[in-house]
């Protein structure tokens, strides 16, 4: 569910960008940056915040759209179940491989849970299997080394953005 909400936010951002280009002769408003949400359970606010970061980091991507994963915060049964389902999906994707030019995005309100998620998802990845695939991870600076260590053997183009 979170994945589709983030995709919708990205799609809306893309549509807005296209319509602004088509109406270049009309004055345009500067879009204010969305600040980092304080409520870890406000998925709409997190999707808006993370969507703007993804839009700024899509250079080099040749696929139609990125594949985002919003890793939920919390330790409730529901949050754990969502993370487990997402983890299984990503592990299947990692096992099959991803075509060059694609982008996978991992982010969530709890950076440590996101870093653990990425580490677990890519632990069985074959060396070099993600060459020319962009993996964008959004989180705290303290989790960057853990994520980078997990992703380096895959050959992915790693982008880590601090929030």
Beta strand spans in 40-142 (E): 67-70, 103-107, 134-139
Q: What are phi and psi of 83, to 5 degrees?
A: -60, -40
Q: What's the pLDDT band for 129 if we cut at 50, 70, 90?
A: very high
Mean pLDDT, to the nearest integer, of 35-57? 93
Mean pLDDT, to the nearest integer, of 143-149? 98
Q: What is the pTM of this model?
A: 0.81
Residue 79, CA atoms < 13 Å, CB-side half-sphere: 16
Selected residue with higher pLDDT from 33 and 134:
134
For residue range 77-124, list pLDDT tens digits in order: 999 999 999 999 999 999 999 999 999 999 999 999 999 999 999 999
Taking Cα atoms as reference points, which of 45, 52, 85 lies closest to residue 69? 85
Find the helix packing angle between 144-151 and 111-121, rounded to 10°: 10
Domain ranges, ordered by start, for the chain: 2-162
């Amino acid at each position: 569910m979170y994945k589709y909400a983030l995709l919708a936010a990205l799609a809306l951002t893309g549509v807005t960008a296209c319509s602004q280009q088509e109406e270049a002769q009309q004055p345009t408003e500067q879009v204010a940056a969305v600040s980092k949400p304080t409520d870890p359970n406000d998925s709409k606010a997190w999707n808006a915040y993370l969507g703007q970061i993804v839009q700024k980091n899509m250079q080099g991507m040749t696929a139609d759209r990125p594949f985002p994963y919003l890793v939920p915060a919390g330790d409730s049964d529901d949050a754990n179940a969502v993370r487990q389902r997402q983890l299984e999906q990503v592990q299947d994707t990692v096992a099959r491989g991803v075509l060059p030019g694609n982008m996978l995005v991992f982010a969530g309100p709890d950076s440590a849970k996101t870093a653990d998620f990425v580490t677990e998802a890519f632990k069985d990845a074959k060396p070099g299997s993600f060459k020319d695939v962009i993996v964008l991870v959004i989180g705290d600076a303290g989790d960057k080394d853990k994520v980078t260590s997990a992703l380096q053997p895959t050959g992915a183009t790693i982008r880590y953005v601090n929030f």
